Amino acid sequence: MTEQDAIQTNDPFEKSMKGFLKILTKTLTDDNVPDSPLDRLSPSEILSFGEVSTVLTADNRRLVSDAYLVRFLQEHYFDISNTVEAVNRYIQWRGQFKPQELIRMFSIPRSLQHFWPGRYHGYDRQGRPVYIWRPASLDGHGLLASLDSNRALLMKFHVHTLEMGEYYMREVHGTVNNAIVMIYDVKDISMTQYKHKYLGFLIEMLALEQQYYPRRTQAIFIVNTTPVFTHIWSMVAPFLNNRVRASIHIYKDNFHEALAKHIDPEMLPRWLGGTCSGCHGGCVPAGGTVPNEVLSELGTGKTEIVRKVQHGTTFKCSLPVLRPNMAVRVQFHTKAKDIDFALLFTQHEDEGLHEYSIHPMERHQSHRGTVDVQFVAKPGIYTFVWSNDYSIFANKELTYRIQTRPASGMKPRSDDEEEKTRSDSDDETSVL
Ligand SMILES: [Zn+2]
């Protein structure tokens, strides 16, 4: 679609992917670069390609690249009407969902940045982006809770990941005719882990991927398998078609050689037998149980969030602050009616967690003007509380925005100046 667009992404791992790209370009030769999408097709397949191109409306044909059209044709075994239908659905979906905007506009919630145990980590020897996932470390329940069970937000995160895959493909080859490679490290996976409703969500995501990102995965390496995994696999495998099954390679702990054959060890974490030295920490977020303190962080971004606060209820939103000396600003207003607001601070002390009230619960005439609270934060959890507990009938419509930035160098400024400064320090603000 917009393959040549130079875009700035918001993927926190993009910097290290650039490092991996440098390593890749040293080894990538013409021999291991894939051909253009049409070069791979047989004469009869090229005819189908031409036929689909004429059946699609001119507008829709313009919106789908050659590489993508080939992927759709392959997915539908070169059936013309099925391919045309799928491409039309895809274009309609992109028009409504606008996934291409997510890679620079979507602010990844902090809980997902820290507790989603997966990321793109380097490229295989053919220049395919490699995505590493550690499903055993996924606290699906905790992550959903940290997003206020906001499935739409989670969906955006997943689509963002899919779009970043296409983005990294283009980084190497300038087009999306490639695919990605996945490594699933299933060490310590348990049966109970995937009984949660999160499993349903993952299945929904897989369906979306198949529909709108066809032929995306070249190979899946499943490593560190255990008897539990073998059991799960025996239930899943019969539902996969032969092509998909053939692309899945399963290993216990004897995977080092196989992975190294496909992927330069410099692009692999040490725990997968590689020598990666470009990432801090463990290469892929460790995941694990999402702490209760990180519960609702919905709305901690640059954009305004609108929430209904039902009568007799309270809405809370937590902001974990990890570094000292962060400037925090919360602005909110309500439609037509007032609301109660309080600000709490929780920090870890020797005896455990302690909660303090920074602003006691107080009624605000926020329907008459925006309430603006600014303070310099120290590490801990700040919880913003909007209460409509006192209303028997009236629901309130709350609009709020929470921003953070390093406090050093902060001075009072007009709104215009503030806009400028905020975009200057996007690195610091957009993640929270
Ligand atoms: Zn690494």
Cα three-residue angle 115-180-132, rounded to 5 degrees: 30
Whether the predicted pLDDT of 301 surpasses 50 = no
Confidence of residue 94 (pLDDT cuts 50, 70, 90): very high
Could you read off the pLDDT of 209-262 as tens digits, one per residue? 888 999 888 899 999 998 878 877 787 777 777 888 889 999 998 899 999 999
Task: Please tell me the distance between residue 151's alpha carbon and the centre of ligand 1 in angstroms.
Answer: 30
Residue 210, Cβ density class (10 Å: 0-12 exposed, 13-18 middle, ≥19 buried): middle
Q: How many domains does the chain have?
A: 2
Give every CB contact of residue 413 below 8 A, 6+ residues apart in sequence: 421
Select the more confidently predicted residue: 280 or 183. 183
Task: Please tell me the distance between residue 267's alpha carbon and the centre of ligand 1 in angstroms.
Answer: 7
CATH code for the domain of 235? 3.40.525.10
Could you read off the pLDDT of 179-223 as tens digits, one per residue? 899 999 988 777 665 555 566 777 778 788 888 999 888 899 999
Tell which residue, 188, 170, 189, has the closest CA to residue 180.
Answer: 170
Task: Please tell me the distance between residue 284's alpha carbon and the centre of ligand 1 in angstroms.
Answer: 7
Q: Is 358 a member of any domain? A: yes
Could you read off the pLDDT of 66-76 as tens digits, one per residue? 889 999 999 99
Q: Is 343 a member of any domain? A: yes
Looking at the chain, the whole-number percentage of residues with pLDDT higher than 70 is 82
Task: Please tell me the distance between residue 15's alpha carbon and the centre of ligand 1 in angstroms.
Answer: 11
Task: Please tell me the distance between residue 143's alpha carbon and the centre of ligand 1 in angstroms.
Answer: 24
Single out the residue in 205, 240, 272 at which a domain terminates: 272
3-state secondary structure of 383: strand
Task: Please tell me the distance between residue 394's alpha carbon and the centre of ligand 1 in angstroms.
Answer: 52
Task: Please tell me the distance between residue 283's alpha carbon and the centre of ligand 1 in angstroms.
Answer: 4
The rounded Cα 119 to chain-centroid distance in angstroms is 9
Could you read off the pLDDT of 135-170 as tens digits, one per residue? 888 888 778 777 777 788 888 999 999 999 999 988
Confidence of residue 431 (pLDDT cuts 50, 70, 90): very low
Q: Is 301 a member of any domain? A: yes
Whether the predicted pLDDT of 395 surpasses 90 = yes
Q: Is 412 a member of any domain? A: yes
CATH code for the domain of 340? 2.60.120.680
User: HSE on the CB side for 158, CA within 13 Å?
Assistant: 20
Task: Please tell me the distance between residue 280's alpha carbon and the centre of ligand 1 in angstroms.
Answer: 7
On whether both 232 and 364 belong to a single domain, the answer is no
Alpha-carbon distance of 256 to 273, in angstroms, equals 6
Task: Please tell me the distance between residue 13's alpha carbon and the centre of ligand 1 in angstroms.
Answer: 10
- Show the domain range for 364: 292-431
Whether the predicted pLDDT of 429 surpasses 60 = no
Give every CB contact of residue 212 below 8 A, 6+ residues apart in sequence: 90, 93, 94, 99, 162
On whether both 254 and 307 belong to a single domain, the answer is no
Whether the predicted pLDDT of 349 surpasses 80 = no
Alpha-carbon distance of 375 to 358, in angstroms, equals 10
Could you read off the pLDDT of 10-64 as tens digits, one per residue? 777 888 888 899 988 887 776 666 667 778 789 999 999 999 999 999 999 999 9
Alpha-carbon distance of 253 to 188, in angstroms, equals 12
